[in-house]
């Protein structure tokens, strides 16, 4: 295992993912992790991440200096390199000129860390401080025009520092460098594979659950579907999968999910048709937050009722992923048992918390995985691409894509329009070019003409965006022909719609969803 000590860089997770791409397991730990704990974990190598600080800032994050006596190879990236240099007695100063963006890397020593990295290759830089004096025993590996010490090494001790960011895609030789570090310097074997993960996860779940019963709330996404498969493989019918259909899913989605589980996976799913009660709950509600709240509460109620009638259960299986684990300080540990307990159902169910008397112990077999790794596991177990690569879909579903009051009629209209959007972007092979691409139904009507008839009907908004993480987004530059096709089909095929408009607002100032 490789440990990444996080000094606050936005790229720490990315470093971990890059290491895992070499099929070597890696974890991100906070920079203040004690040397004792590090020694216990016995990693094959440690990577110190970048960070926003200068090593000379008051209160700049530092790792324990004993880390340099562990005898473990270390790679310092950007701030991590500067910290290494400072702690080992070298010099770091504010550079005359900072370096941001692409830079050509000129190689002075093409051995170990830089094997197979081309001289003159592009690396991504982002730093204001530079190493001005290498600590004793270090040698220069590479420089750039503005940075004399862009890569350095203490070959004997296996300490390496790079001023650039090998983990970002713009760094052309970055992955080669990371491979050199994990394979040749840390001597790791490529054993972190999907198959190995599944095997180990199944073994762990069996050992943990024994003969107890587990409840799993299936949502139709890749996480809960993959989770259900893993859990079922591990404990068979000790697992109860429950699928609450609130009536706000896309056309055919509930049916497909049930069919997949029943006919392909042979995993029984307890189907709860709660469409009417959810619709009733939000009938007449126009405020978006109130809608969300009511849907969330109703979810809890249904979940509670159903789990009582099917239970009792000892555990709740949850599709927590590694980024959630990194982010959440583990405040939800039961002090008596040391096990994580559910005080929150995953946010896609949009609920604040489970009632006190409904606290389950949690089993979270995906908690070591990044999203792309879950997708790989999903693929390997035969989940269809439409689930594996599905765009994000909000927990309250179509209810927040119908602005204002939701009715059965409007749900049908939006479902049909949304289906056309999906059909066309799939047919044109552009589904994966968007972060999300969907239809929104507005609560107003406008005048149109069809045949010789005047119409007075709803407009559909097309909302297609590109994004890295959903935090910011840009409207997608969709070819006019595709827009025309979608627009024509919606107006011709969906009764109740006579106009289609395209949303050209980025986020910010807009949001991706309309409610």
Q: Cα separation of 256 and 383, whole Å? A: 12
CB of 64 to ligand XMP, least distance (A): 38
Residue 382 in the binding site for ligand XMP (CB under 6 A): no
- Residues 54, 128: contact at Cβ < 8 Å? yes
* Residue among 176, 141, 154, 138 at smallest CA distance from 73: 154
* Residue of the chain from 343, 470, 479, 493 that contacts ligand XMP (CB under 6 A): 470
The separation between CA 131 and the C-alpha centre of its own chain, rounded to angstroms, equals 34
Which CB, 31 or 393, lies closer to ligand XMP? Answer: 393
Cβ-based nearer residue to ligand XMP, 311 or 352: 352
Q: How far is the CB of 217 from ligand XMP (least distance, A)?
A: 14
Q: Tell me how far CA of residue 222 lies from CA of 92, 177, 395, in angstroms.
A: 46, 32, 14
End-to-end CA distance of the chain: 43
Looking at 139-187, list the stretches that DSSP marks H as alpha helix, in order from N- to C-terminal side.
174-179
What is the secondary structure of 63-83 as a DSSP string?
A: --GGGGGS---EEEETHHHHH
What sign for the dihedral angle of Cα 160, 8, 35, 91?
A: positive
Q: Which of 491, 425, 424 is nearest to 457 (CA)?
A: 491
Distances (CA, A) of 91 to 61, 133, 161, 287: 17, 5, 13, 58
167 catalytically annotated: yes
188 is catalytic: no
Among 147, 396, 420, 461, binds ligand XMP (CB under 6 A): 396
472 makes contact with ligand XMP (CB under 6 A): no
**What DSSP state is assigned to residue 485?**
H
Per-residue interface string for the shown chain with ligand XMP, residues 425-444, x marking contact by CB under 6 A: -----------x--------
* Residue in 135, 161, 365, 394 binding ligand XMP, rule: CB under 6 A: 394
Q: Based on the shown chain and the rule CB under 6 A, indicate whether residue 43 belongs to the binding site for ligand XMP.
A: no
Q: What are phi and psi of 246, to 5 degrees?
A: -90, 0
Binding of residue 397 to ligand XMP (CB under 6 A): no
Q: Which of 127, 165, 232, 349 is catalytic?
A: 165
CB of 377 to ligand XMP, least distance (A): 21
Cα–Cα distance for residue pair 241/214, rounded to 1 Å = 9
**Among 63, 78, 186, 188, the one annotated catalytic:** 78
Asked if 492 interacts with ligand XMP (CB under 6 A), we say: no
Instruction: Find, among 80, 32, 13, the residue nearest to 53 by Cα.
Output: 80
CB of 467 to ligand XMP, least distance (A): 8
Calpha distance 71→475 (Å, rounded): 50
Is 212 a residue that touches ligand XMP (CB under 6 A)? no
Report the site for ligand XMP in 310-369 (rule: CB under 6 A): 347-348, 350
Whichever of 268 and 470 has its CB closer to ligand XMP, that residue is 470
Applying CB under 6 A, which of residues 143, 158, 292, 361 lies at the interface with ligand XMP?
Answer: 292
Q: Which is nearer to ligand XMP, 188 or 476 (CB)?
A: 476
Name the minimum Å distance from CB 463 to ligand XMP.
9
Active site residue 36: no
CB of 428 to ligand XMP, least distance (A): 22
| Under rule CB under 6 A, residue 446 binds ligand XMP | no
Among the residue ranges 48-56, 279-287, 308-316, 506-514, the one whose residues contact ligand XMP (CB under 6 A): 506-514
With CB under 6 A as the contact rule, the residue among 6, 395, 413, 490 that binds ligand XMP is: 395
Nearer Cβ to ligand XMP (364/515): 515
Q: Rounded to whole angstroms, how far apart are CA atoms 253 and 259?
A: 10
CB neighbours of 31 closer than 8 A, spacing ≥ 6? Answer: 5, 6, 7, 8, 48, 49, 51, 61, 62, 63
The tokens for 74 are 């270390």
In the complex, the smallest distance separating the C-beta of residue 363 from ligand XMP, rounded to whole angstroms, is: 22
- Share in percent of the chain as helix, strand, coil (round to 5): 35, 25, 40
Contact status: 190 vs ligand XMP (CB under 6 A): no
Catalytic pick from 99, 127, 158, 167? 167
User: Total residues at the site for ligand XMP (CB under 6 A)?
Assistant: 14
Among 251, 294, 255, residue whose Cα is nearest residue 273: 255
> Which residues sit at the interface with ligand XMP, rule CB under 6 A?
292, 347-348, 350, 392, 394-396, 436, 470, 507, 511-513
Task: List, by residue number, the catalytic residues.
Answer: 78, 165, 167
């Amino acid at each position: 295992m490789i440990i990444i000590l996080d000094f606050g860089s936005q790229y720490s997770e990315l470093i971990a993912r890059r290491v895992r791409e070499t099929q070597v397991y890696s974890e991100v730990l906070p920079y203040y992790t004690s040397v004792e704990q590090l020694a216990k974990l016995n990693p094959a190598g440690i990577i110190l991440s970048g960070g926003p600080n200068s090593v000379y800032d008051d209160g700049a994050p530092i790792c324990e200096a004993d880390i340099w006596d562990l005898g473990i190879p270390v790679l310092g990236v950007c701030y991590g390199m500067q910290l290494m240099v400072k702690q080992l007695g070298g010099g770091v100063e504010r550079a005359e000129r900072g370096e941001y963006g692409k830079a050509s890397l000129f190689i002075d020593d093409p051995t170990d860390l830089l094997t197979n990295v081309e001289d003159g290759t592009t690396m991504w830089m982002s730093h204001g401080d530079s190493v001005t004096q290498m600590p004793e025993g270090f040698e220069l590996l590479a420089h750039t025009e503005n940075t004399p010490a862009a890569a350095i090494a203490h070959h004997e001790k296996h300490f390496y520092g790079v001023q650039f960011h090998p983990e970002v895609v713009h760094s052309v030789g970055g992955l080669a460098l990371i491979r050199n570090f994990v394979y040749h310097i840390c001597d790791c074997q490529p054993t972190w594979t999907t198959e190995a993960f599944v095997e180990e996860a199944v073994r762990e779940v069996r050992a943990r659950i024994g003969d107890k019963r587990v409840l799993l709330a299936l949502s139709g996404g890749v996480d809960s579907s993959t989770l259900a498969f893993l859990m079922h493989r591990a404990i068979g019918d000790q697992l109860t999968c429950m699928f609450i259909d609130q009536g706000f899913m896309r056309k055919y989605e509930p049916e497909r999910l049930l069919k997949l589980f029943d006919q392909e996976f042979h995993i029984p799913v307890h189907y709860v048709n709660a469409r009417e009660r959810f619709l009733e709950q939000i009938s007449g509600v126009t405020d978006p937050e109130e809608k969300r709240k009511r849907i969330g509460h109703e979810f809890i109620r249904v979940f509670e009722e159903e789990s009582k009638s099917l239970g009792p259960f000892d555990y709740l299986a949850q599709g927590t992923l590694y980024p959630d684990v990194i982010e959440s300080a583990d405040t939800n540990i039961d002090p008596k048992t040391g096990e994580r307990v559910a005080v929150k159902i995953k946010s896609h169910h949009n609920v604040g918390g489970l009632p006190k008397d409904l606290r389950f112990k949690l089993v979270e077999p995906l908690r070591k995985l990044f999203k792309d790794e879950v997708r790989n596991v999903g693929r390997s177990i035969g989940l269809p691409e439409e689930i594996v690569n599905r765009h994000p879909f909000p927990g309250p579903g179509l209810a927040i894509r119908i602005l204002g009051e939701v009715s059965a009629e409007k749900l049908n209209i939006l479902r049909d329009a949304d289906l056309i959007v999906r059909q066309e972007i799939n047919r044109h092979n552009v589904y994966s070019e968007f972060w999300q691409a969907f239809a929104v139904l507005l609560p107003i009507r406008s005048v149109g003409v069809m045949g010789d008839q005047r119409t007075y009907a709803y407009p559909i908004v097309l909302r297609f965006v590109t994004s890295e993480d959903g935090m910011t987004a840009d409207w997608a530059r969709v070819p006019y022909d595709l827009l025309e096709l979608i627009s024509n089909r919606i107006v011709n095929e969906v009764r109740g719609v006579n106009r289609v408009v395209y949303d050209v607002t980025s986020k910010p100032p807009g949001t991706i969803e309309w409610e």
